[in-house]
Amino acid sequence: MKKCKRLFIFLLFFFLSLIITFFGIYLYAKTTTKLSIKGANGFYLYDSNNELYNGGSKEWVNLKNISENLIEATISAEDKNFYKHKGFDILRIMKAMMINVKNKSTSQGASTITQQLSKNLFLNFDKTWARKMKEAWITVRLESHYGKNEILEGYLNTINYGGIFGIENASNYYFGKNSSSLSLAEASILAGIPKNPSKYSPLINFSEAKKRQKMILDSMVKNNYINTFDADKAYNEELVFKRSENDNLKMLMYYQDAVMDELSNISSIPSSFIQTGGLKIYTNLDIGLQKTLENCSDKNISNPNIELAGIIMDPESGRVLALTGGRDYSKSEFNRATKARRQVGSTIKPFLYYAALENGFTPSTTFTSEKTTFSFSGEKTYTPKNYNDKYAEGPISLAAAISYSDNIYAVKTHLFLGEEVLPDILKRTGINKNFSNLPSLALGAEEIDLLDMMGAYGALANEGYKIKPYFISKVTDMDGHILYEYGANNLSVLNKSTVYVLNELLTTTYAKEFTDYNVPTCLSILPKITHKYAIKSGTTNTDNLIFGYNKSLVVGLWTGYDDNKSVNSEDSLNLKNMWVDIMEEAMTGKNDQDTWYKTPNNVVPVAIDPISGKASVNSGKAKILYYIKGTEPTLNKESLDTIIPTVKIEN
């Protein structure tokens, strides 16, 4: 009996302490400065022409001017006890915790509308304990200083409706009308979006949006806002969306996600909208090129199951002009352009051959192309093969090795230079990772993400300057005060003349003069090519890649499978056709005089025999290539052949 009495006293004291603490916190919050939430109106994204392409106007709408249908649908969907709690729904939290413990997951949430508003006042959604404590404190302050209707008004004006922030903006974006005029059908479809904007946006995934709408209508019936007849009528009502040209861009959200990732890493941006009242984000997006990227994908990538990543970039500045991280954002939000690391195959070879040219090689330098087993200490061996198992069975020039993407030549070059040379070039051009000192690095057996590869190719495309691909040019607050502006810091890391020689060599990948015992790797797209490009493709068992450029643009593409299923030659051909279609459309109206490189004064052209690399007068077979003055072959002087000895390396 005494134990029960002690327990009762303890519990009574405990709960009294909780109540006192609870009210003490709210009383203290009352003494703090009132948070300004009106105007904290989200993100506004502008393209390279300063045209708003996602977001809305800066209009804040009063709660009395919002449709009751939308208000009731939102409360039913997000927080049915909104008018009964003080910011935290304790019973709902306990229920969610029990479900999560039972299911061994964290799938159940219990955020109230006030808590969600407090989240909306922050720039990003970190899930750290420190962040959660800040959100909880702001929730208390909001409940202490504002009435429920004011909090609901703030929430509806800041919540994300599929990249559109605020209900007035969303209502106009989706239906071309003010939020006061929303029907029950329209309101219930919009109220479903904030739960998961990319999943429940009716423009991205209509079937999932309808499922969410049905759930919301059922909850409105349960909460006595409407009857079953009204719910069924609203569900079956045909929705007429106000579609803009951009609505059909099923890959555009990948670009927006990349923008938001970059935004979250800019230290000069205040951590909360309380300080900014919203953000205007000026991006490098070229809507025309984004459409070109998507149209060329639809035209060429016929395999419905294969995935895609693609980037179009200005090589002079590093501005990312268009991007996709997959075939369809509504089916997969994973951004393969910025987050996936894949083996890059032979697209690594231009950096190897730049190193070779820097270390005394010329386009005429030869190694023997034949099946080769390389022997190392500890009885280790390495036996690379050419992609099509074709070999010259004799010496071939560096130019031919690039044209055919000869693997034997690449490995010999890598070992001849020393295995530390290629990693050094990659780091100089911006790929900062620890590469393994392995012979297979010359064949791209390392995993690198597409964005890093684009930065490295940018150094080749802009004649030797290291650049960083970027998405955001400027960020301001809603009053136009600049919070961040990109500052270029391009650094010369490669020799301009050597880069020019390499760029000319990369035109051999589609040069018909190299048709011999083998064919150039990109010869199939020659009929479509009307401009001069440097191109390098690459293939592994699971990946197809192609990078190509001129002075105006760099375009990099990848296709493959998320589960590493094998790719085939048709997949590779389709990717090459997509690449050339993008470039040719982008170069319409331009000429090579404007888009190709001016020959440096210390570089000279020579007509050579493609295979031997020797100077040639055979006009039907010769190919003009470029040499640093003094290294060129002449008709009276054979080119200096560099033949690697039998390689045996001590580890």
Q: Would residue 84 count as lying in a domain?
A: yes
Q: Are residues 239 and 294 in the same domain?
A: no
| Among 67, 76, 78, 616, the one annotated catalytic | 78
Shortest CA distance to 194 belongs to which of 334, 280, 73?
73
Mean pLDDT of 42-65: 81
Q: Would residue 112 count as lying in a domain?
A: yes
Q: Would residue 15 count as lying in a domain?
A: no
- Per-residue pLDDT at 188 exceeds 70: yes
Q: Would residue 332 count as lying in a domain?
A: yes
Q: Are residues 221 and 356 in the same domain?
A: no
Q: Are residues 458 and 546 in the same domain?
A: yes
Domain count, the chain: 2
Residue with tokens 């909208």, as numbered in its chain: 273
Q: Are residues 232 and 302 in the same domain?
A: no
Contacts of 206 (CB under 8 A, 6+ apart): none
Mean pLDDT of the chain: 87
Mean pLDDT: which of 41-55, 253-267, 366-380, 418-432 is highest? 418-432
Q: Are residues 301 and 179 in the same domain?
A: no
- Per-residue pLDDT at 643 exceeds 50: no
Burial class of residue 650 (count of CB atoms within 10 Å of its CB; 0-12, 13-18, 19+):
exposed
Contacts of 606 (CB under 8 A, 6+ apart): 615, 624, 625, 626, 627, 632, 633, 634
Question: Residue 226: what pLDDT?
Answer: 95
Cα–Cα–Cα angle for 411, 412, 415, nearest 5°?
85
Q: Are residues 549 and 600 in the same domain?
A: yes
**How far apart are the C-alpha atoms of 150 and 143, rounded to whole Å?**
10
Question: Residue 43: what pLDDT?
Answer: 75
| Among 111, 118, 317, 346, the one annotated catalytic | 346
**How far apart are the C-alpha atoms of 503 and 593, rounded to whole Å?**
15
Question: Residue 80: what pLDDT?
Answer: 87
Among residues 191, 218, 248, which one ends one of the domains? Answer: 248
Structure confidence by residue, pLDDT tens digits, 314-337: 999 999 999 999 998 878 889 999
2-31 helix and 129-145 helix, angle to the nearest 10 degrees: 70
Q: Are residues 334 and 235 in the same domain?
A: no
CB 403 within 8 A of CB 350: no
Q: Would residue 535 count as lying in a domain?
A: yes
pLDDT-based confidence at 495, cuts 50/70/90? Answer: very high
Is 379 known to be catalytic? Answer: no
Residue 218 belongs to domain with CATH number: 1.10.3810.10
Q: Are residues 105 and 235 in the same domain?
A: yes
Q: Would residue 14 count as lying in a domain?
A: no
Q: Would residue 323 count as lying in a domain?
A: yes
- Per-residue pLDDT at 631 exceeds 70: yes
Residue 495 belongs to domain with CATH number: 3.40.710.10
Structure confidence by residue, pLDDT tens digits, 14-23: 556 656 655 5
Which tokens is 429 given? 């051009």
Burial class of residue 472 (count of CB atoms within 10 Å of its CB; 0-12, 13-18, 19+):
buried
Instruction: Tell me which residue range forms the domain holding 163.
Output: 61-248
- Per-residue pLDDT at 595 exceeds 80: yes
Is 78 known to be catalytic? Answer: yes
Q: Are residues 200 and 305 in the same domain?
A: no
